[in-house]
Amino acid sequence: MHIEQLYTSCLAESAYYIESEGEAVIIDPLREIHSYLSLAKKSNAKIKYVFETHFHADFVSGHIDLANKTGASIVYGPTAETGFNSITAKDNQEFTIGKVKLKVLHTPGHTMESSCFLLIDEKGKDMAVFTGDTLFVGEVGRPDLAVKGDITMNDLAGMLYESIHSKLMPLADEVIVYPGHGSGSACGKNIGKEPFSTIGIQKALNYALQPMTKDEFIKVVTEGLSAPPKYFFMDAMLNKKGYENIETVISKNTKALSVDEFSALTNTDAIILDTRTPDEYETGTVPSAINIGLNGQYAPWVGSLIDAKSGLLLIANEGKEEEAVVRLARIGYENVKGFLNGGMNAWKEAGKDVQITNSVDAEEFAKKYKNDNVIDVRNTGEWNSGVIENAQLISLNVLENNITSLDKNKHYFVHCAGGYRSMMAASILKKNGFLHITNVRGGITKIKEAGVPVLIPVS
């Protein structure tokens, strides 16, 4: 038997490849399926099943394309209803892969159809459990995504409590826990960095698995939840109903535009998205371009800040254009009008206007901030580690909605934790007519090192 975890850092997502005796199964695949096909081809194995732990909200799965390509059956847990051919398994139903089995454990709570898959080895022993978004390292799945009709967030949290206590915690301590996401995913509040764990370790260290009543559990897992990114519900529906083949999407969206063609489209409603690093962006970009760099959690931030219906004009370093398109397609963003052929070099050589963004190092910021205005765009939970006195606390994901609270005539320093998000914030502010913006390189980490005192905010 062979198990392989395929982790995609941009989405903080784990897919899994399991193989036994020439048969294979994929759990929670990404939309582009080449890596799974390559693994099976390498071992001359046949992909028999594609298992989905739930209708994913944070990415478009590759289940349909993979099934079409291989003839594999798509398997969901109980209550799942799809717009394509699939198997809706029963609770405790077992599926054979070579000499091993996968047992479906229905664990509603994150969503109604959420299920975990228990791997039973060749000797009939429980070996590992693939927990999807039900149980993470140090965290549990958020219970606010499947709220509809008479079902509330608290109802789902109560179901999650029952699922964890009746299906997962009774498993042997040595059973390996393979979660669907790692640190940085918006599918949980504070997911740990470790790629996997065990049931025993989670029972000992995971706050949500400590002794408590159901009411206490509901309170602790629902408090402090930020609003889900705006694209989540669209992706869940795509995964439930079906979607266009990714190769077709890539072909339509990877269109080279000359400087003149690109320039003409900037006068439309299309959003200009500069996918280069913050350091590259600050030296010059197309006016009104938003910076969301490929060097970070690019796709989730696009999904949080930009409406999926918006047309996109991409700026990328040469050779990175298709990557920018593929990573957008992973979250269902398929309305790319094209990319600037030749990148910013071509734009500058054509003599077009260029927008510069001012940035300072933390040491220079430390000399000036007391007599100026500071915006901290970190997430609310990050503020507990300390904030600069009198800084305005506006998380990046709600910045544009709160822009009227700021004064376009004032100068603002903008910082985050490390510099990635603050440049996004600076670009959004400049797009909205704020001309006096300075990004702080290195964020709060470097700011503290420069000797700037911080305060713990009063909640």
For 155, the 3-state DSSP assignment is helix
Tell whether 455 is covered by a domain.
Answer: no
Same domain, 283 and 262: yes
Among residues 59, 132, 56, the alpha carbon closest in space to that of 302 is found at 59
β-pairing verdict for 87-88 and 94-97? unpaired
Could you tell me which residues come within 8 angstroms of residue 333 by beta carbon, excluding any fewer than 6 positions away?
231, 299, 302, 303, 306, 308, 312
Query: CA 323 to CA 413: how far, in whole Å?
Result: 32
The pLDDT, as a whole number, for residue 147 is 81
Q: Which residues contact 404 (CB under 8 A, 6 or more apart)?
A: none
- 7: in domain: yes
Distance in angstroms (rounded) separating the CA atoms of residues 230 and 88: 28
Q: What pLDDT does 217 receive? A: 97
Q: Are residues 221 and 283 in the same domain?
A: no
Tokens of 197: 């764990």
Residues present in the chain in total: 459
The CA distance from 292 to 302, in Å, is 7
109/222 same-domain check? yes
Q: How far apart are CA 181 and CA 252, in angstroms?
A: 30
pLDDT, one tens digit for every residue, the chain (459 residues): 999 999 999 999 999 999 999 999 999 999 999 999 999 999 999 999 999 999 999 999 999 999 999 999 999 999 999 999 999 999 999 999 999 999 999 999 999 999 999 999 999 999 999 999 999 999 999 999 888 878 999 999 999 999 999 999 999 999 999 999 999 898 998 899 999 999 999 999 999 999 999 999 999 999 988 888 889 999 999 999 999 999 999 999 999 999 999 999 999 999 999 999 999 999 999 999 999 999 999 999 999 999 999 999 999 999 999 999 999 999 999 999 999 999 999 999 999 999 999 999 999 999 999 999 999 999 988 998 999 999 999 999 999 999 999 999 999 999 999 999 999 999 999 999 999 999 999 999 999 999 999 998 765
Provide the sign of the torsion angle of the four alpha carbons 64, 69, 73, 77, taken in this order. Answer: negative
How many of the other CB atoms lie within 10 Å of CB of 396?
22
pLDDT for the residue numbered 457: 78
Residue where a domain stops, chosen among 332, 349, 366: 349
Q: Which of 227, 214, 80, 92 is nearest to 159 (CA)?
A: 214
Co-location of 163 and 282 in the same domain: no
| Structural domain contains residue 456 | no
Residues 428 and 376 in one domain: yes
Sequential DSSP letters for 85-141 = S-EEPPTT-EEEETTEEEEEEE-TTSSSS-EEEEEE-TTS-EEEEEEETTEETTEE-
Query: Cα separation of 133 and 28, whole Å?
Result: 11
Classify residue 313: in a domain, yes or no.
yes
Strand ranges inside 115-225, DSSP E: 115-120, 126-132, 135-136, 139-140, 176-179, 197-198
Distance CA 59, CA 297 (A): 13
| Tokens, residue 160 | 């999650």
Of 185, 205, 233, the residue at which a domain comes to its end is 233
Q: 256 and 206 in one domain? A: no
Question: What SS3 state is found at 202?
Answer: helix
Task: Please indicate, yes or no, whether residues 367 and 342 belong to a single structural domain of this protein.
Answer: no
Given 331, 349, 367, which residue is the final one in a domain?
A: 349
Say how far apart CA 454 and CA 86 lie, in whole Å: 54
Q: What is the Cα–Cα distance from 97 to 66, expressed in whole angstroms?
A: 17
Q: Are residues 95 and 148 in the same domain?
A: yes
Q: Are 122 and 100 in contact (CB under 8 A)?
A: yes
What are residue 257's phi and psi, to 5 degrees?
-115, 135
285 within a domain of the structure (yes/no)? yes
Local structure of 354: helix, strand or coil: coil
Domain-located, residue 251: yes
Task: Provide the CATH number for the domain around residue 16.
Answer: 3.60.15.10
Whichever domain contains 411, its CATH number is: 3.40.250.10
DSSP 228: P
Burial tier of 12 (Cβ tally within 10 Å: 0-12, 13-18, 19+): buried
Question: Is there a domain that residue 362 lies in?
Answer: yes
Residue 277 lies in a domain: yes
User: Are 162 and 31 within one domain?
Assistant: yes
- 75/162 same-domain check: yes
- Which structural domain range is residue 373 located in? 358-449
- Note whether 112 and 121 are within 8 A (CB): no
Which residues on adjacent β-strands are paired with residue 6? 15
Nearest C-alpha neighbor of 377 from the set 401, 409, 408, 358 = 401
Phi/psi of residue 64, each to 5°?
-70, -50
205 and 344 fall within a common domain:
no
If one counts the domains in the chain, the total is 3
Judge if 17 and 77 occupy the same domain: yes
CA gyration radius for the chain?
23
Count Cβ neighbours within 10 Å for each residue of 325-347 and write b for 16 or more, e otherwise: bbbbbbbbbbbbbbbbbbbbeeb
